[in-house]
Chains A and B, each alone.
Chain A
Amino acid sequence: MAGLSTKSGVVYDARGLVEPDPEPPMTAEIDGDRAVIDATDLTTRKINLELKRIVYDEGVNEVTIVNPGSKHSLGVGILKRCRLTFEGSPGWYACGLIDGPEVQINGRVGWSLAENMMSGSIVVDGPAGSLTGAALRGGDLVIKGNVGARTGIDQKGGTIITLGSAGINTGFMMQRGRQIICGDANDGLGDSMYDGAIYVGGKIASLGVDCVPAEMTDDDHEFINRKFDIYDLGTPPDVQKFECGKVLHNYDALEPSERKLVL
Chain B
Amino acid sequence: MCGIAGIIHRDGAADIGDELTEMLNSMKHRGPDSTGYAMYGQPDDLVVVRFMLAEPNEYGGFGMDERLERNRAEVEARLAKVGADLATIHNETGYAFRATIRYGGDLKPLADYLEDIDGCKVLSLGNSLEIVKDLGDANTVHEQYGLANMSGTHGIGHVRMATESDVDLASAHPYWAYPFADVAVVHNGQLTNYHQWRRRLERMGHRFQSECDSEIIAVYLAQQLEDGLPLETAMKHSLDDFDGVFTYLVATGSELGIAKDEMAAKPLVLMESDNLVAMASEEIAIRALVGTEVETRDPFEREVLTWQV
Contact = CB atoms under 8 A, between A and B. Distances in A.
Interface of A: 8, 69-72, 88-89, 91-92, 107-108, 110-111, 126-127, 129-130, 145-146, 148-150, 167-169, 186-187
19 contacts: A69-B284, A70-B282, A70-B283, A70-B286, A88-B293, A89-B287, A108-B296, A110-B269, A127-B296, A127-B297, A127-B298, A129-B267, A130-B264, A130-B267, A148-B298, A168-B262, A168-B301, A187-B262, A187-B301
Interface in B271-309: 282-284, 286-287, 293, 295-298, 300-301
Contacts of A127: 296-298
A107 to B, nearest CB: 6
A89 B264 CA distance: 22
Contacts of B295: 126
Contacts of A110: 267, 269, 282-283
B301 A149 contact: yes
A110 B264 CA distance: 14
B301 A186 contact: yes
> Which applies to chain B's interface (DSSP): helix, strand, loop or mixed?
loop
Interface in B4-20: none
A110 B283 CA distance: 7
Given A110-B282, A148-B264, A70 B287 contact: yes
* Binding site secondary structure of chain A: loop
A168 B262 CA distance: 8
Given A148-B298, A149-B301, A168-B301, 5 more contacts: A129-B298, A146-B298, A149-B263, A167-B300, A186-B300
Contacts of B137: 8
Contacts of A167: 264, 300-301
A168 B137 CA distance: 34
Interface string B120-145: 00000000000000000100000000
Contact of A148 (B287, B296, B300): B300
A92 B267 CA distance: 11
Nearest to A128: B298
Nearest to B264: A149
B226 to A, nearest CB: 33
A51 to B, nearest CB: 19
Nearest to A148: B298
Contacts of B286: 70
A187 B301 CA distance: 9
Contacts of A72: 284
Q: Rank and list the top 8 A-B pairs by shortest CB-CB distance, nearest first.
A: A149-B264, A70-B283, A70-B284, A168-B301, A70-B287, A148-B298, A167-B300, A88-B293
Contacts of A130: 264, 267, 298
B267 A111 contact: yes
B304 to A, nearest CB: 15
Nearest to B287: A70
B296 A91 contact: no
A24 B115 CA distance: 56
Contacts of A8: 137
Nearest to B265: A149
Contact of B282 (A88, A92, A108, A186): A92
